[in-house]
Amino acid sequence: MTLTRTPYEVARIGDEIYERDIRALIEAEHHGEIVAIDVDSGSWGLGKNILEARERLDSALPEANDVFLVRVGEKVIHRFGGRSPRGQQ
């Protein structure tokens, strides 16, 4: 599987699709779940974790390449770094 867009483009387009087409449909009942969005078609899969969301997208659209992942109700899926900066909790 090879990306056809830069990671920045995938994130920008994926976020636009999520905000425009998906968020209002799922946010109230699926907070904390993961959405996998194919940025070429706008197709998406919803799951309790990344693997489940991606499997649901792949079952509907096996050729999905440029996929954006977002946690419902959050801006990020993972936080990088081992601890918070000194003096901040």
What does the pLDDT read at residue 1? 61
Q: Is residue 85 situated within a structural domain? A: no
For tokens 């899926």, the residue is 77
Q: Is residue 51 part of a domain?
A: yes
Residue 85 DSSP symbol: P
Give domain status of residue 82, yes or no. Answer: no
- With tokens 């998406």, the residue in question is 44
Q: What is the pTM of this model?
A: 0.82
Query: What's the domain range around 32?
Result: 7-71
Task: Give a yes or no: residue 58 inside a domain.
Answer: yes
Q: Which whole number is the average pLDDT over 4-12?
A: 91
Say which residue, 89 or 52, is predicted with more confidence.
52
Q: Is there a domain that residue 38 lies in?
A: yes
Contact 37, 50 (CB under 8 A): no
Overall number of domains in the chain: 1
Write down the pLDDT at residue 75: 73
pLDDT of 77 strictly over 90: no
Q: State the CB neighbour count (10 A cutoff) for residue 64.
A: 20
